[in-house]
Amino acid sequence: MGGLTKEMWTPGIARAARRIATAAAVGGGGATALGVAVYGLVQVEAVIARRSIGRRYGMNGPRADGLYGAWHDPRDPADPGAEASRPLRLAMLGDSTAVGLGMRDPATTPGVVIARGLAEVAGRPVRLGVHGRSGSVSADLVWQVDRALRTEPDIAVIFIGANDVTTKTKPAHAVRHLRDAVRRLREAGAEVVVGTCPDLGTVRPIGQPLRWMTRMWSRQLAAAQTVAVVEAGGRTVAFADLLGPEFASYPGEMFGPDRFHPSARGYERAAHAVLPSVCAALGLRAEPRPERGEGSQPIYLAAAIAAEEPGTEVTAARVAGRATGPYGRWATLLRRRPGPMPHGA
């Protein structure tokens, strides 16, 4: 981080998250994430990457909608056990990372990895509907949610944020659209898990000093996303530099052909990062006892810490029966272990 320690970095992220989230709540726009001076340079890198992979595979991931997991014979609808035998409905929303851009085999896309893992834990099939689209920004969640709600999902997973950083989207506008999307899904009865904006500082085509700057901006947006999602009733999982160390050591394995999007292995890591939270949101996994450094935190601090630590989940909490404290809403910080879980875990 250019010499900055986590202790120096986190308070700044927390302040930025508060500023962006407040602007989103009151209708302000906030400055463009990258600023006019450097926005164009980063956008060019992103456009070149999209065109590179688009020439090979098109601009959409492979069609992955379908039923996954072992099928159980449906029971009589009048049977109290019928609800437990029907497929769970999973909706995948967001940008190119949500659809698995660059993959040719549906099995390697995040939605299918999550659906199969969820089916294994739940002991019932999962019907997956992919509503995301490559190139989407948070404003595109409006029509994606429209489509998803027609399927009455039990849970929605959203991967969004990178394109908001690499375009002229004002952070508060992006956060407001994400908050509204989560709120609509929750009001319809769906649980929501959001994979927040990844650390674009791990993207190889972006050189220094832009890499350092995009790292800062993407983490600020991720923290503000966390605040908005938790306040709207969802939970977040920080991608941060989830793939950063492995990208640096094994770029040929973790990056796709454009050196911008993940490879199959990279997508699998992202899916496994959110799978424990998906299972917990549906009540399929007991909430672990918080360890040292985890547990209840003021929302802005929890969001800032999560933005630094990949795989960290943030969800709403109550302390002494109260949802808010002297520093705002309470949130629970959990460092869940990424990876598939055995049945009944």
Active site residues: 96, 258, 261
d(CA 270, CA 241): 11
Residue count (the chain): 345
Taking the CB of residue 298, how many other CB atoms lie within 10 A of it?
Answer: 18
Q: Is 318 helix (H, G, I), strand (E, B) or coil?
A: coil
d(CA 162, CA 314): 19
CA nearest 62: which of 114, 117, 110, 109?
Answer: 109
Tell me the H-state helices in the chain: 6-26, 36-57, 82-85, 96-99, 110-122, 141-149, 162-166, 171-187, 210-231, 244-249, 251-254, 264-281, 299-308
Which pair of structure tokens corresponds to residue 1?
């981080």
Q: Is 210 helix (H, G, I), strand (E, B) or coil?
A: helix
Question: How many Å separate Cα 296 from the centre of its chain?
Answer: 21
Amino acid at 45: E
d(CA 281, CA 158): 14
